Structure 1
């Protein structure tokens, strides 16, 4: 199965985002294989050689880990919540930049947005 380049990039970005949110819920092996495959861009064959297992076994581990990540997201929806929070923060920042808003209110709004963004990083 060949994935077209834009589809492959979108899938890699999605898996990496899911991984960021749910990494600690994966097994060590799932974490390792996903890191090698999606983050470090190793091929299935390179991972198989590294761990002395078959390419098919690596493929199955990666597919299973992807499925687990998607399952967590379907239940917890952390990415959806993160994206909604980002949209609200962007709106807050846009209003803070509006010239009709007082300087004091604008400053307070920017500080709130910065504080919320910093909190998300924790």
Structure 2
């Protein structure tokens, strides 16, 4: 898995981890944030490395499906872009437009 993909999964975990099963959440957090190998996770939970891998793959798919349907991360990226643009050229009208559009 590439660094960009790992970063994406880590961010999506911040948004949607509570929507995963408890086990998927644990495996994903331990693997992506705890930097544990599949083997280490498997030993901890007394399951095979393959079972950990399958659960992580399913968990990643679920996270991406949630983002596709709900779009919190995409929304926040757009808001961040708008705020950075506002910072470069602040006008009260632009601020009001951002507030109106997003809230």
Instruction: State the distance in 2 between where 1:45 and 1:24 align.
Output: 24
1:41 aligns with 2:35: yes
Residue 95 of structure 1 deviates from its aligned partner by 1.1
Equivalenced residue count is: 95
Residue 24 of structure 1 deviates from its aligned partner by 1.2
Q: Structure 2 unaligned runs (5+)?
A: none
- Counterpart of 2:63? 69
TM-score, structure 1 as length reference: 0.72
Instruction: State the distance in 2 between where 1:74 and 1:88 align.
Output: 21
Instruction: State the distance in 2 between where 1:16 and 1:68 align.
Output: 13
Q: Deviations over 1:66-88 (max 9, x none)?
A: 01001101111111111100000
Instruction: State the distance in 1 between where 2:70 and 2:41 align.
Output: 30
Q: Deviations over 1:49-98 (max 9, x none)?
A: 111100000001100100100110111111111110000010111113xx
TM-score, structure 2 as length reference: 0.84
Instruction: State the distance in 2 between where 1:26 and 1:93 align.
Output: 37
Deviating above 2 A after TM superposition, structure 1's stretches of 4 or more consecutive aligned residues are none
